[in-house]
Amino acid sequence: MNKRGQGLPLNTIIIAIIVLVVLVVLIAIFVGRIGKFDQDINKEGELELIKLKASYGTCKPSVGAETSFQTAYNAENTNKGQLTSEYAKLISLCKNRNAANCENAVDTSTTSILGGCSN
């Protein structure tokens, strides 16, 4: 009697190894894309800020206000339209000041953006 032990054929083992390698490569690509996506989301706030900077005058929002805007813009569940509108109001408040009184206190009660104006 010629009894052979039952086992997986060599072709099945090779195919399983190839499938595992492909799966590992796909996971590596996917994880890399998620990191890039997160970076792109952060750049969205920078791009919006650059657009708004085009309307700056001599007196402009402070660096703190810009940082506050970018952080809020990049946060989840943010009403980007309202935030952009509020930052535009702050730009307008700063624009209406001359260089001499630019850094004096600004009434920011109309906006949720933190920070005042600077030269």
For residue range 52-111, list pLDDT tens digits in order.
777 777 788 888 888 888 888 888 777 888 888 888 888 888 887 777 777 765 555 555
Looking at residue 95, what is its pLDDT?
80
Mean pLDDT (the chain, rounded): 77
| Residue 87: count of CB within 10 angstroms of its CB | 24
Segment (H or E) for 118: strand 117-118
Q: Please state, in angstroms and rounded to a whole number, the distance separating the CA atoms of residues 22 and 20.
A: 5
- Residues 59 and 94: beta-carbon distance below 8 Å: yes
Burial group, residue 57, by CB count within 10 angstroms (0-12, 13-18, 19+): middle
Q: Where are the domains of the chain?
A: 48-119
- On the question of pLDDT at 23 being above 90, the answer is yes
The alpha-carbon radius of gyration of the chain (Å, integer) is 28
